[in-house]
Amino acid sequence: MARTRIGPEEFSRPLRRLLVGLAVLLLLGLFLLWRIDSPRVERFRAALIDAVVPNLDWALRPVTAFAGMIDDFQSYTRIYEQNQELKRELQQMKAWKEAALQLEQKNARLLDLNKVRLDPKLTYVTGVVMADSGSPFRQSVLLNVGARDGIRDGWATMDGIGLVGRISGVGQRTSRVILVTDTNSRIPVTIQPSGQKAILSGDNSPLPPLEFIENTDEVRPGDRVVTSGDGGVFPAGLLVGQVALGTDKRLRVVLAADYQRLEFLRVLRSHELEPITDPGSLIAPPLLPPLPDTSAESAERAAKAPPARTEGGNVEAAGSGDGEGPAEEAVDG
């Protein structure tokens, strides 16, 4: 006789039905309990809430923490989106800055080609950069203008935007420019808007340092640096660059001139420099003896003066000589 096997589904169906019925009865009972308007039932509901709700704090903590995490994640998402937007705006600003610098350089070159005089007191000669020194210890460039073009030592050179250096060595057809970054370069500058005076010293780096600042507390990164004109070497007001804080915590200058693309340089005819050909002329000359007095009073004083004794015992009578005749000689007894 074969046995009939009972599967698990035949046991689970009645169990599910029983649980569903109990849940329905429980919910119905709770519904009726909350709907009955009776003081006794109200006290029972209050006691039930006081007994159950405080004990559910441990169950609500994960829910509260999860809700806080969701809020933090949403806030982080908003911050991330704002950060990405700021990065895009920064990239656009960098592009606009580069475009502005290129337009400024192009404008300066066009002004140079059109012979526009920005300062009526200054004239200039434009030269082409022929060669670079290429030495790590000396930074200079060679121009194709020289003595035949009226170039002289000490004149300032610019690339149309900022100061590049000064003329140091003039040939008949060429001249050499010592750059601001060279170690031999010392330029008196003024820091604006504070008006502090300083010396820009080259150290063969793209960011030359500022030295001998009167009050460093009044100088801020981003301040404008121009030539002061002290010493009469450079004209005052030529743009040099902006103040920046170097990695060595020293105040340095970001040069306005584009040293990566030095193609044309403007040599300013700032002033006439007097070359020193004789170093001895720097010392005051000795005092000259006084010139003889040829007036009438001096002649009378000479006539009244006693005779002067000469070598060999002879004396000569002082006098004009023309009116008195020859002087008598006397022999010492």
- Which of the residue ranges 211-215, 241-245, 268-272 would you say has the lowest mean pLDDT? 268-272
Q: What's residue 329's pLDDT?
A: 42
Tokens of 308: 């002067």
Domains of the chain (ranges; CATH) run 19-52 (no CATH), 123-269 (2.40.10.340)
CA distance 159 to 141: 12
- For residue range 273-324, list pLDDT tens digits in order: 555 565 555 455 555 565 555 555 556 665 665 555 544 444 444 444 444 4
Q: Do 127 and 148 contact (CB within 8 A), yes or no?
A: no
Q: Residue 138 phi/psi, 5° resolution?
A: -145, 120
- For residue range 172-209, list pLDDT tens digits in order: 999 999 999 998 899 999 998 888 999 999 988 889 99
Residue 53: pLDDT above 50? yes
Q: What's residue 333's pLDDT?
A: 37
Highest mean pLDDT among 90-99, 220-229, 269-278: 220-229
Highest mean pLDDT among 22-36, 41-55, 149-163, 319-333: 149-163
Q: Residue 327: which pLDDT band, with cuts at 50, 70 and 90?
A: very low
Mean pLDDT of the chain: 76
Q: What's residue 326's pLDDT?
A: 43
CA distance 176 to 136: 16
CA distance 146 to 134: 21
Q: Is 233 exposed, middle or buried (0-12, 13-18, 19+ CB in 10 A)?
A: middle
